[in-house]
C-alpha cells in the first residue's frame, strides 16, 4: 500500500513564526502536492512538484513556499505564519503514468496560528 506520512497531526504556532510541514511518501512517486482544506471551501492546491527541485504554483501560493530536495520528501514552508493560515494541510502524491493520476493523501496536519 502507498503510504504518505506527515510530520505532525496537530501544530500550534505563533504569528510571525516560520513553520515547516513535512511530507514523506514511500512509493517513489514523481508528483507531490500540498493542499489546504477549509470548511465550505474544499481542497485548494498550494504548490505541487513533479520532480526533485521542481515546483509549480497552485491556486493559492501566496504566503507559502516549498522545497523538494529528495524525491520522497516535500516540505511546505510558511515563512511568517499568520492567523489566516490556520487550516488543515493535506499532502498527496501520485505516480506519473498512473491511470487518471490518482492521488494518495496523507493524514493531514491541523495548524493553528495564534
Partner 1 sequence: AQTVTQSQPEMSVQEAETVTLSCTYDTSESDYYLFWYKQPPSRQMILVIRQEAYKQQNATENRFSVNFQKAAKSFSLKISDSQLGDAAMYFCAYRNSGAGSYQLTFGKGTKLSVIP
Per rule CB under 8 A, count of chain residues that contact partner 1: 24
Bridge partners of 73? 24, 70
Identify which of residues 43 and 77 has a Cβ nearer to partner 1 in the complex: 43
Smallest distance, Å, CB 97 to partner 1? 10
Nearer of residues 17 and 72 to partner 1, judged by Cβ: 72
Farthest-apart Cα atoms in the chain, separation: 42
Sign of the dihedral defined by the CA atoms of residues 102, 29, 31, 23, in that order: positive
**Residue whose CB is less far from partner 1, 55 or 81:** 55
Position among 42, 53, 69, 84 found at the interface with partner 1 (CB under 8 A): 42
Least separation in angstroms between CB 61 and partner 1: 13
Taking CB under 8 A as the criterion, the residue among 24, 66, 76, 90 binding partner 1 is: 90
Residue 113's H or E segment, with its range, is strand 109-113
Query: C-alpha angle 79/94/55, rounded to 5°?
Result: 35
CA–CA distances in Å: residue 13 to residues 9, 18, 37, 83, 114: 13, 9, 18, 9, 6
Question: Which residues in this chain contact partner 1 in the complex, by CB under 8 A?
Answer: 4, 31, 33, 40-45, 48, 50, 58, 90, 92, 94, 99-103, 105-108
Amino acid at each position: 500500500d502507498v503510504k504518505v506520512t506527515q510530520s505532525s497531526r496537530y501544530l500550534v504556532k505563533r504569528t510571525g513564526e516560520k513553520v515547516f510541514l513535512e511530507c514523506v511518501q514511500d512509493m517513489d512517486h514523481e508528483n507531490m502536492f500540498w493542499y489546504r482544506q477549509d470548511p465550505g471551501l474544499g481542497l485548494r492546491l498550494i504548490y505541487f512538484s513533479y520532480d526533485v527541485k521542481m515546483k509549480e504554483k497552485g491556486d493559492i501560493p501566496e504566503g507559502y513556499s516549498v522545497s523538494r530536495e529528495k524525491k520522497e520528501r516535500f516540505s511546505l514552508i510558511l515563512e511568517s505564519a499568520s492567523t489566516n493560515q490556520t487550516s488543515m494541510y493535506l499532502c498527496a502524491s501520485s505516480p506519473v503514468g498512473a491511470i487518471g493520476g490518482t492521488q494518495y493523501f496523507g493524514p493531514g496536519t491541523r495548524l493553528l496560528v495564534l
